[in-house]
């Protein structure tokens, strides 16, 4: 059920999912908020947003190649303000980037000994200040 209720300072606050069953209250109520946790979570979010804001833009025109080869080729447009790039890869079943190779002053690279079909790939730009852009997935193909 959706409800309006008034806070102590008489402001209307919208609250979601409120109900009571067997004298047990359920829902999004102010009295159930852990403000210490919410404060810490807000600080972590602010830090991460600042890090992304200070980073260079994500690489554009990321392309991938290497079909039927034991190597994966990448190309991308250079990013203004980028000191280098991280080429990330992970197993197709992994939720995290498990491997990376750092490179500088290039916009093409070949990862030897890695089969393109076994991994997901992405490239991030690294700024002079060490901050890292979000990861760009390949959107194009490098033909032989």
Given a contact cutoff of 8 angstroms between Cβ atoms, the answer to whether 123 and 103 are in contact is: no
pLDDT in tens, 49-91: 999 999 999 999 999 999 888 999 999 999 999 999 999 999 9
**Residues 75 and 48 occupy one common structural domain:** no
Same structural domain, 50 and 75 = no
Q: Are residues 13 and 82 in the same domain?
A: no
Prediction pTM value: 0.75
Contact between 86 and 44 under an 8 Å Cβ cutoff? The reply is no
- Do 20 and 75 lie in one domain? The reply is no
Range of the domain at 131: 63-141
Per-residue pLDDT at 30 exceeds 60 = yes
Tell me the pLDDT tens digit for each residue of 102-128: 999 999 999 999 989 989 999 999 999
Tokens of 10: 């008489």
d(CA 95, CA 89): 11
Q: 3-state DSSP call for residue 120?
A: strand
Verify that 26 and 77 share a domain, yes or no: no
Question: Looking at the 3D structure of the chain, how many domains does it have?
Answer: 2
Query: Does 87 share its domain with 111?
Result: yes
How many beta carbons lie within 10 A of that of residue 105, not counting itself? 9
> Quick one: pLDDT at residue 1?
47
Which CATH number do you get for residue 128? 2.60.40.10
């Amino acid at each position: 059920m959706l409800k309006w209720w008034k806070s102590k300072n008489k402001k209307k606050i919208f609250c979601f999912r409120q109900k009571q069953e067997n004298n047990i209250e359920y829902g999004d109520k102010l009295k159930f908020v852990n403000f210490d946790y919410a404060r810490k979570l807000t600080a972590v979010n602010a830090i991460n947003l600042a890090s992304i804001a200070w980073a260079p833009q994500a690489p554009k025109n990321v392309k991938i190649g290497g079909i039927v080869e034991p190597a994966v080729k990448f190309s991308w447009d250079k990013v203004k303000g980028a000191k280098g790039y991280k080429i990330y890869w992970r197993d197709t079943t992994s939720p995290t980037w498990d491997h990376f190779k750092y490179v500088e002053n290039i916009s093409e690279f070949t990862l030897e000994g890695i089969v393109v079909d076994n991994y997901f790939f992405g490239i991030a730009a690294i700024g002079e200040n060490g901050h890292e852009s979000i990861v760009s997935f390949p959107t194009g193909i490098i033909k032989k």
